[in-house]
Structure 1
């Protein structure tokens, strides 16, 4: 069984939970500081790059990408 890495991605701006499917099932949390945190599993680096391309295509500012556990 392959280990799956979990990531936390912070974006500038507020996105509601309806974007979860678009971001591959990630959990979206609107923070009080006006940012959104996406949290979820990423199977490999190609999937991570695809997720980051979605962020870029949306036109929001990427604040940080952190691995939570691997």
Structure 2
């Protein structure tokens, strides 16, 4: 059974300096927007992560769940 994870799309690119502030997340291929991948979170943890993205000045575009056994 595949694992559920989150895809978090933000405008622009996220460099390694910012990624250090987001433990547990990885970056997808660079595009006009950056796709961060993270594990399945409970709702409180997801809202905490979204607050952290905002505090880092990232512009949230989209959040969705996906089934991906590689994460």
Q: Same fold (TM over 0.5)?
A: yes
Q: For the Cα contact (< 8 Å) 1:14–1:30, is it kept in 2?
A: no
Q: CA RMSD in A?
A: 2.1
1:28 partnered with 2:27: yes
TM-score (structure 2 length as normaliser) = 0.75
User: What runs of 5+ residues in structure 1 fail to find an aligned partner?
Assistant: none
Q: Residues of 1 paired with 2:45 and 2:38: CA distance? A: 12
Instruction: Name the counterpart of 1:62.
Output: 60
- Determine which structure has the larger strand proportion and give its number: 1
**Number of aligned residues:** 66
Q: Which moved more, 1:37-46 or 1:21-30?
A: 21-30
Structure 1 residues 19, 59: closer, same or farther in 2, change over 3 A?
A: closer
